[in-house]
Amino acid sequence: GDNAGLLSDQDRALVAQLLELDQGHLFRAWPQRGSQDEGKRRLLAQLALLDASYHGGVAAYVRNARKLLQDSKEGANPFEGYVPSVPAGATLDFGSPAFLALEAAGAAEAGAAAFVLVAGGLGERLGYSGIKVALPSECASGTPFLGLYIGSILALQARSQSGRKLPLAIMTSDDTHARTEALLRDHGYFGMEPGQVTLIKQEKVACLTDNAAHLAPDPADPAFGVQTKPHGHGDVHMLLHSSGLARKWLGEGLKWVCFFQDTNALVFRGLLPALGVSAREGYDMNSLAVPRRAKEAIGAIARLEHSNPPPGTPASLTINVEYNQLDPLLRGTMSKEGDVNDPKTGYSPFPGNINQLVLRLASYVPQLEATGGVISEFVNPKYKDATKTDFKSSTRLECMMQDYPKALPASAKVGFTTINQVWASYSPVKNSPADAAAKFKEGNPTHSATTGELDIYKANCLALQDMAGAKLPSPLQSATFNGIATEVYPRVVLTAAFAPTLGEIKAKVAPGSIRLGPGAALVLDGAGISVQGPLEVSGALVVRAVPGAKVVIGPMKVENKGWEWHPIAEGEAASEEERIRGFKVLRHETQELVFDKPGSYTVPEPAAAATAKPAEPAPAAAAKPA
């Protein structure tokens, strides 16, 4: 009507296209020209952005959506004709000789690796108001996830022969970009050079209200906005292509690119042996995996074979089958019970994908060049009922980074690396306290802020035990946090600076030198620290050493009131970070040894030990009771 005068030629073409796509509802309630023109312009600008940031524009988006929604409604099997089986890959026991050998090989390969953190997700399921990478990974040291990851990369860089500064790319979105930037800035890039870090921002896609792919009004701006959501972590490939980063890395002589998620503190424990496996097998793609419980919300890595593939589709591929697609695939082929555990093992026969991927740059870059990094999409609407007509809430198209093998030629080598002990390499922070408590009741992993922290301590305690014969308390403490009843290991933090590998823990901690009491807290942070012992900790001990400070911890008994992981009572005041864990840490007393100048130190001072005085730090160290 009279609004036509508002439109540029470009707007006009886009609006015409949208009308043709049956999206007239976006414009139907427009008042006459002169009324709310600013809102109209806002909508047009948003539509133009949506059009520009999607391969093929908004028209392609709506067409793709209709096709995928139709398939979903019909319950179409996207794996039609494919027969799944368990693929070949490496399976390792945490700390075994094979693990240690591959870990050492992987640590060497890491000197030629780039790292990519996908951190554009809202963390909707966690219900946390901040960005997830800013969350403390654990409360003993308070290190945020981002600091933990960067610390791991820097520790590998410091030990690498290559002398290279290892690059880190972080995929952000409008939801996380500014806060990720601020977090880096406020923490001095956690010790990285700013030039080592590149932020690549993904754009969102439009939400859809129904099977006809009508674009959803934005609840915050229903008259003049379209609701949008992230397109998924698969965008990372497109961005590594369009930013030129992948090509640049290959050009600089790097060999590997390692992808990881926002909140798995244990990622580097598994990533290093996986890098070792990638190098040994020459894998183009290697997915880190854990034993998977049937119906758990992690994808399954499967080999798919087609006896008579339609043109353009591969006869076989090894690929992640997402949890919502696995059950129908299995019912249609190898098991009419669907996604169930193997009664012999209690686990799904398929390795569980934890989306930590190692790709070979030499094959990645040509694939990006051939595909533009565009990865196949899917849709996952939550229907109101079995008629599959109405959605509980709006949906959108998504894509996943682990679908990368779909872009690879049949000759590519795709494998996986399973670490048998789930607690050793995988404990993400994904679920809200309420959802976590429900999962706990069902006997499933909770993937909560509670376990994300406690599993770090567990993994470190068991690393000390397995690598250095540390004596752990028996029985362990037990506690209930946010309805999750759990054992609590001594709160041990071994930073990556201290030891990025199990092998280094073994080298730095003398056999049988550490004994931990049930309530002990122990933080070892610094490359020069080693433990001769006997070191007995029943309170809290923190040892920090700057680079160049060599600290040998000798005979020492730490007995103080220590730190308490105190369950939060209902109605008790607590920060959001504490509330999602279900505990707060009360620091009653701490022995803190800080070595802030290079040099050689022994703790306690030999003279002090000889006269049997209570343990005291070397002169350069400051002992600070809390």
Q: Nearest distance from residue 232's CB to ligand UGB, in Å? A: 5
DSSP state for residue 137 in the 8-state scheme = S
Q: According to the binding rule CB under 6 A, does residue 299 interact with ligand UGB?
A: yes
Candidate segments 118-126, 495-503, 582-590, 595-603, binder of ligand UGB by CB under 6 A: 118-126
Which one of residues 198, 261, 450, 538 is an interface residue with ligand UGB (CB under 6 A)? 261
Contact assessment for residue 590 and residue 603, using Cβ atoms and an 8 Å cutoff: no
Measured distance CA(107)–CA(152) in Å, rounded: 11
Nearest alpha carbon to residue 529 among 607, 462, 617:
617
Query: CB atoms < 10 A from the CB of 573, how many?
Result: 8
Q: Is 237 in the site for ligand UGB (CB under 6 A)?
A: no
d(CA 230, CA 118): 12
- Answer yes or no whether residue 304 interacts with ligand UGB by CB under 6 A: no
Phi, psi of 155 (to 5 degrees): -65, -40
Cβ contact 7:41 at 8 Å: no
**Rule CB under 6 A: is residue 400 a binding residue for ligand UGB?**
yes
Query: Could you tell me which residues come within 8 angstroms of residue 16 by beta carbon, excluding any fewer than 6 positions away?
Result: none
* Residues making up the chain, counted from first to last: 626
Please tell me whether residue 232 binds ligand UGB under the rule CB under 6 A. yes
Give long-range contacts, CB 8 A cutoff, 24+ apart: 390-394. 390/210, 391/209, 391/210, 394/207, 394/208, 394/209, 394/216, 394/227
Strands 414-419 and 285-291: parallel
Residue whose CB is less far from ligand UGB, 202 or 530: 202
Closest contact distance (angstroms) between CB of 311 and ligand UGB is 29
Select 357 or 545, whichever has its Cβ closest to ligand UGB.
Answer: 357
Helix, strand, coil abundance in the chain, percent, nearest 5:
35, 25, 40
* Residue 121 lies near ligand UGB (rule: CB under 6 A): yes
Asked whether position 217 contacts ligand UGB by CB under 6 A, the answer is: no
Q: Toward ligand UGB, which CB reaches closer, 118 or 470? A: 118
Annotate each residue in 428-467 with x if it binds ligand UGB (CB under 6 A) or - if it does not, as one string. x-x-------------------------------------
Q: Which two tokens stand for residue 476?
A: 């362990």
Are the C-beta atoms of 372 and 247 separated by less than 8 Å? no
Residue that has been written with the tokens 């390499």 in this structure: 425
Stretch that binds ligand UGB, among 15-23, 103-111, 116-124, 177-185 (CB under 6 A): 116-124
Q: Alpha helix locations (H) across 314-432? A: 323-331, 361-371, 422-425
| Nearest distance from C-beta of residue 402 to ligand UGB, angstroms | 6
Among 137, 227, 320, 451, binds ligand UGB (CB under 6 A): 320
> What is the spatial distance between Cα 117 and Cα 250, in angstroms, rounded to a whole number?
18
CA distances from 285 to 76, 380, 608 (A): 28, 26, 55
Q: How far is the CB of 225 from ligand UGB (least distance, A)?
A: 19
Least Cβ distance, residue 456 to ligand UGB (angstroms): 17
* Token pair belonging to 624: 């600070």
- Which of 497, 502, 529, 548 has its CA nearest to residue 156? 497
User: Does residue 492 touch ligand UGB according to CB under 6 A?
Assistant: no
Beta-carbon neighbour count of residue 337 at 10 Å?
Answer: 10
Nearest CB to ligand UGB, comparing residues 80 and 174: 174
Nearer to ligand UGB, 12 or 406 (CB): 406
Nearer to ligand UGB, 130 or 309 (CB): 130
Of 87, 230, 528, 604, the one binding ligand UGB (CB under 6 A) is 230
For ligand UGB, what does the binding mask look like between residues 404 and 433, x meaning CB under 6 A? ------------------------x-x---
Is 355 near ligand UGB (CB under 6 A)? Answer: yes
Question: How many chain residues bind ligand UGB (CB under 6 A)?
Answer: 24
Binding interface with ligand UGB (CB under 6 A): 118-121, 171, 173, 202, 230-233, 261-262, 298-299, 320, 322, 353-355, 400, 402, 428, 430
